[in-house]
Amino acid sequence: MNKTVKIILISVIAVIVTAIITLVTIEQASKRSYTIVNNTDKNITALGVMFEREEDGVALQMIYEGALNSGEKQSGKFETASFGEDGAELGIVVTFDGSEEIYCYDGYFVGSFDGKIDLEFYKTEGEYRLKSNASVGIFKNTDNTSLEDSEIVFDLEANDWDYVDYDGEFEDFDDDMFEIIDEDDEDWDDEDDEDWDDDDEDGNAFEFHTVDPSTSGEASVSGTVTE
């Protein structure tokens, strides 16, 4: 092996080692970290971001709590979060200047999480929105968070919020998916593909229908619950 070849090999190895060190450094820096940006024209007078148990909304760990002025960015660290088998959501309580407090939630975390959370409040076409990401590692894996470029839109006048689908339109789950048809019996109707009929006053008899909109076919299962 001549001198030129040795120099080339040494240079290649040096580049590879440098790249590996850089990637490891980036990954370590992003672990258990968050970045929250307010790119709207309103100050956020109060903001709370936390992990909360998916089942009952109990707060498990606070990530950030404080104000966030227009144009401001906050970054910091949090402890590794473990959720066990219950799973958790990212709970967000936000108050824009001149508006009331709005509580919303996003994502679904399972196992444990020691990655990076990125939240951006921004305004587009008169709408105030929140874009959320929660990922792990250099390649930004979101398999255990279900939170990749998810967007929420706020209605500050109605003190309400909703998810935004990929077409930039409302996914109005409350109005489009479910309708309470008998509040006394706590019966409900899914307008898209399911219908639940409670035929017994004690709630023991049941009938469940599944409808395929493409064929207008319906399959049903019925029975009696015994104690």
One domain for residues 92 and 183:
no
One domain for residues 24 and 39:
no
One domain for residues 133 and 90:
yes
Cα three-residue angle 106-108-110, rounded to 5 degrees: 155
pLDDT by residue for the chain (227 residues), tens only, comes to 677 767 777 777 777 776 666 655 555 555 789 999 999 999 999 999 999 988 887 888 899 999 999 999 999 998 888 887 778 999 999 999 999 999 999 999 988 888 999 999 999 999 999 999 999 877 778 888 999 999 999 999 999 999 997 444 444 444 444 344 444 555 545 444 444 444 444 545 444 444 444 444 444 444 444 44
One domain for residues 203 and 133:
no
CATH number at residue 67: 2.60.40
One domain for residues 112 and 37:
yes
One domain for residues 60 and 138:
yes
Give the residue from 168, 187, 212 where a domain finishes: 168
One domain for residues 210 and 126:
no
Tokens of 2: 């001549």
In this prediction the pTM is 0.64
Indicate the number of domains in the chain: 3
One domain for residues 111 and 160:
yes
Residue 8's domain spans which residues? 1-30
One domain for residues 105 and 208:
no
